[in-house]
Structure 1
Amino acid sequence: MKMELIVFYVAKQPYAISFSEIEEIQTAKKGTPLPFADEWHEGLITIRGSLYPLVNLRKLLGVSFDGPQESDKMILLSRARVALLVDELDNTAIIDESELRENPEVNSRDILPRAFELSDGRIVPIVNVETLLAYTRTSYV
């Protein structure tokens, strides 16, 4: 069975997420900070009258603690009103499930359990949205 993914970058590392999990992609907005929020929580943003928590994947994955950049994008999830802050979008990938393997990065396997290899040899972990949402779920979501 084929999987359609979009590849994006966080701290120069490629990651992927299934197209079926994406509502839309927008240029990033600055969130309104919340007191006592986790460091990876960049605040709340309003999109068409709805509030979305803005999750900074750089901080959540522990790959960089840089703040938002002008070139950042937001991936709005379809299954919950959550926006994922990423550095940039790359391309699409269509892979066969037989190409999937366990993420070699042990520390991030809970949120990124599976991965695939690009033609240039780079490993691309795939975001498990259900686990990500469970991990980031708090009283404001």
Structure 2
Amino acid sequence: MTPTPYEVLLFTLEGQRYALPLGDVRELVRAARLTPLPRAPDVVEGLMNLRGELLPVLSLRRRFRLPPRPLSPEDHFIVAQAGPRRVVLHVDRTEEVLTLPAGTLDETPRELPGVGYVAGAVKLPEGLVLVHDLRSFLSEAEGLALDTALAGTSGGT
């Protein structure tokens, strides 16, 4: 059996490059105005209406403890699958899709203490890029709080 290549979407946040497995990415959209979501976990910036579907927009800046920055029309949104939930990730810019040879993903970083949300790392000529695992991006408590906050949006508000 031939090992299959691994595809990732590269994006930048505060000048640093990160990646997501391409299998988790559904589409890329331009940044749009968000609707606040009361009682949502801190990592949730708000809601985005994407063709009639209300999706939570997650702030990678907050999650990675980067300085806050106002939403800009030049920002990009990545619509992605985070386990059973569709979410939108707010990033500074999406860059490109890379097809990496099989065995290129180094899974060692995900076993280091304090490195949550990481599926592994890829060594590129420009440096190391962490590949994030969206299935572990929200804690169980954050997921439950988000479900509760989203349930409040369908109750006539």
Superposition TM-score, scaled by structure 1 size: 0.85
Deviates more, 1:78-87 or 1:14-23: 78-87
Contact residue 32 and residue 73 of structure 2 kept, 8 A: no
Structure 1 residue identity aligned to 2:58: V
Q: Distance in 2 between matches of 1:88 and 1:108?
A: 26
| TM alignment of 1:84-95, pairs within 5 A | 84-95=89-100
Q: Distance in 2 between matches of 1:19 and 1:35?
A: 31
Tell me by how many angstroms 1:38 deviates. Answer: 3.3
User: Who is 1:15 aligned against?
Assistant: 18
Structure 2 residue identity aligned to 1:116: V
Q: What is the RMSD of the two structures over their aligned residues, measured on CA atoms?
A: 2.1
User: Who is 1:56 aligned against?
Assistant: 59
- Determine helix, strand or coil for the equivalent of 2:73: coil
Superposition TM-score, scaled by structure 2 size: 0.77
User: Who is 2:120 aligned against?
Assistant: 114
Tell me by how many angstroms 1:69 deviates. Answer: 2.0
2:137 to 132, 137, 140: 132
User: Who is 1:81 aligned against?
Assistant: 86
Q: What stretches of structure 1 move > 4 A for 4+ residues in a row?
A: 133-136
Q: Deviations over 1:92-138 (max 9, x none)?
A: 2111342222339x576210241111112x11101102112456522
What residue ranges of structure 1 are gaps of 5+ in the alignment? Answer: none
- Determine helix, strand or coil for the equivalent of 1:82: strand
Tell me if 1:103 matches 2:74: no
Tell me by how many angstroms 1:67 deviates. Answer: 2.7
Whichever of the two has the greater Rg, that structure is: 2
